[in-house]
Chains A and B, each alone.
Chain A
Amino acid sequence: MRKRHKGVNYAKYGYIFSIPFVLGFLVFTLYPLGYTAVLAFTDFSGAASLISGEMNILDDPFENFSMLLFDNQLFWTSITNTFRIWLTNFIPQIVLALLLTAWFTNNRNKIRGQGLFKVLFYMPNIITAGSIAVLFGAFFAFPLGPANHILSLLGVENHPFNFTASPAASQNIIAFIQFWMWYGYTMLILIAGVLGINPELYEVAEIDGANGIQKFFFVTLPNLKTVLLFTVVTSIVGGITMFDIPWLFNQGGPVNSTTTVSLFIYNLAFTGRLRYNVAAAASILVFLMIAALSVAVFYLLRDKDAAQLKKEERALRRALKAEMKGVQGNG
Chain B
Amino acid sequence: MDKRTVGARIFKCVVYTVCIVLAVISLYPFFVMFLNATRSTSEIWQNPLPLLPSTHMFDNFRIIRDIGTFDALLGFRNSFIVAGGTTILATYVSSLTAFALTAYHWKLRQPFFTFIMAVMMVPAQILTIGYFTMVWQLDLVNNFLPLIMPAMAAPTVVFFMRQYLLATFQIDIVNSARIDGSGEFRIFNQIILPIMKPAIATQAIFVFVGSWNALFLPRVLLTDRDMFTMPLMVSLLQGNIYDTEFGVVYLGLALSILPIFLVYFFLARYIIAGIQLGAVKG
A-side residues, CB < 8 A to B, are 6, 10-18, 20-25, 27-29, 31-39, 44, 50, 53, 100, 103, 108-109, 111, 113, 115-124, 126-132, 134-139, 141, 144-146, 149-150, 180, 184-185, 188-189, 191-193, 195-196, 226-227, 230-231, 237, 240-241, 243-244, 247-248, 262, 265-266, 269-270, 276, 279-280, 283-284, 286-287, 290-291, 294
Closest to A153 in B: B49
How far apart sit A115 and B272, CA to CA, in the bound complex (Å)?
9
- Residues in A with CB closer than 8 Å to B12 are 109, 111
Task: Decide: B133 and A35 in contact? CB cutoff 8 A.
Answer: yes
| Among candidates B45, B134, B149, B249, residue contacting A35 with C-beta atoms closer than 8 Å | B134
Given contacts A188-B279, A192-B276, contact A279 B122 (CB under 8 A): no
A-B contact pairs, 23 of them (CB 8 A): A14-B100, A18-B100, A21-B97, A32-B127, A32-B130, A32-B131, A33-B130, A34-B130, A35-B134, A111-B19, A122-B268, A124-B26, A127-B30, A134-B253, A135-B253, A138-B253, A141-B246, A237-B121, A240-B123, A248-B238, A269-B129, A276-B132, A286-B126
Task: Decide: A189 and B49 in contact? CB cutoff 8 A.
Answer: no
- Residues in A with CB closer than 8 Å to B58 are none
B residues 70-122 touching A (CB-CB < 8 Å): 93-94, 96-97, 99-101, 103-109, 112, 116, 119, 121-122
Given contacts A121-B22, A135-B253, A244-B215, contact A14 B105 (CB under 8 A): yes
- Residues in B with CB closer than 8 Å to A18 are 97, 100-101, 112
Given contacts A141-B246, A196-B280, contact A35 B152 (CB under 8 A): no
How far apart sit A18 and B103, CA to CA, in the bound complex (Å)?
12
Min CB gap A276→B, angstroms: 6
Task: Decide: B121 and A291 in contact? CB cutoff 8 A.
Answer: yes
- Residues in A with CB closer than 8 Å to B25 are 180
How far apart sit A28 and B147, CA to CA, in the bound complex (Å)?
10
- Residues in B with CB closer than 8 Å to A34 are 130
Q: When A and B form their complex, which 9 residue pairs have the shortest distance between CB atoms, in order from nearest?
A: A24-B152, A35-B130, A36-B130, A14-B104, A24-B153, A14-B106, A17-B100, A32-B131, A230-B282
How far apart sit A25 and B116, CA to CA, in the bound complex (Å)?
10
| Among candidates A108, A117, A127, A294, residue contacting B23 with C-beta atoms closer than 8 Å | A117
- Residues in B with CB closer than 8 Å to A276 are 129, 132-133
Task: Decide: B121 and A130 in contact? CB cutoff 8 A.
Answer: no
How far apart sit A20 and B124, CA to CA, in the bound complex (Å)?
19
How far apart sit A28 and B97, CA to CA, in the bound complex (Å)?
17
How far apart sit A301 and B107, CA to CA, in the bound complex (Å)?
27
B residues 175-224 touching A (CB-CB < 8 Å): 178, 184, 188, 209, 212-213, 215-216, 219-220
| Among candidates B16, B132, B271, residue contacting A269 with C-beta atoms closer than 8 Å | B132
- Residues in B with CB closer than 8 Å to A192 are 275-277, 279-280
Task: Decide: A28 and B230 in contact? CB cutoff 8 A.
Answer: no
How far apart sit A37 and B126, CA to CA, in the bound complex (Å)?
10
Task: Decide: B152 and A131 in contact? CB cutoff 8 A.
Answer: no
- Residues in B with CB closer than 8 Å to A280 are 129-130
Task: Decide: A128 and B129 in contact? CB cutoff 8 A.
Answer: no
Min CB gap B188→A, angstroms: 7
Closest to A148 in B: B48
B-side residues, CB < 8 A to A, are 8, 11-12, 15-16, 19, 22-23, 25-27, 29-30, 32-33, 45, 47-49, 93-94, 96-97, 99-101, 103-109, 112, 116, 119, 121-134, 136-137, 149-153, 158, 178, 184, 188, 209, 212-213, 215-216, 219-220, 230-231, 234-235, 237-238, 246, 249-250, 253, 256-257, 260-261, 264-265, 268-269, 271-272, 275-277, 279-280, 282
How far apart sit A119 and B23, CA to CA, in the bound complex (Å)?
9
How far apart sit A146 and B47, CA to CA, in the bound complex (Å)?
8
Closest to B259 in A: A128
Closest to A145 in B: B48
Closest to A286 in B: B126
- Residues in B with CB closer than 8 Å to A135 are 29, 33, 253
Task: Decide: A146 and B125 in contact? CB cutoff 8 A.
Answer: no
Task: Decide: A123 and B131 in contact? CB cutoff 8 A.
Answer: no
- Residues in B with CB closer than 8 Å to A22 are 153
Closest to A293 in B: B121
- Residues in A with CB closer than 8 Å to B103 are 13-14
Task: Decide: B234 and A134 in contact? CB cutoff 8 A.
Answer: yes
Closest to B272 in A: A118
Task: Decide: B126 and A287 in contact? CB cutoff 8 A.
Answer: yes
Min CB gap B39→A, angstroms: 12
Task: Decide: A33 and B106 in contact? CB cutoff 8 A.
Answer: no
How far apart sit A17 and B95, CA to CA, in the bound complex (Å)?
10
- Residues in B with CB closer than 8 Å to A44 are 133
- Residues in B with CB closer than 8 Å to A11 are 104-107
- Residues in A with CB closer than 8 Å to B279 are 188-189, 192-193, 227
| Among candidates A121, A123, A144, A188, residue contacting B276 with C-beta atoms closer than 8 Å | A188
- Residues in A with CB closer than 8 Å to B212 are 128
How far apart sit A221 and B250, CA to CA, in the bound complex (Å)?
43
Task: Decide: B126 and A134 in contact? CB cutoff 8 A.
Answer: no
Q: Which of A11, A29, A116, A196: most chain B CB closer than 10 A?
A: A29
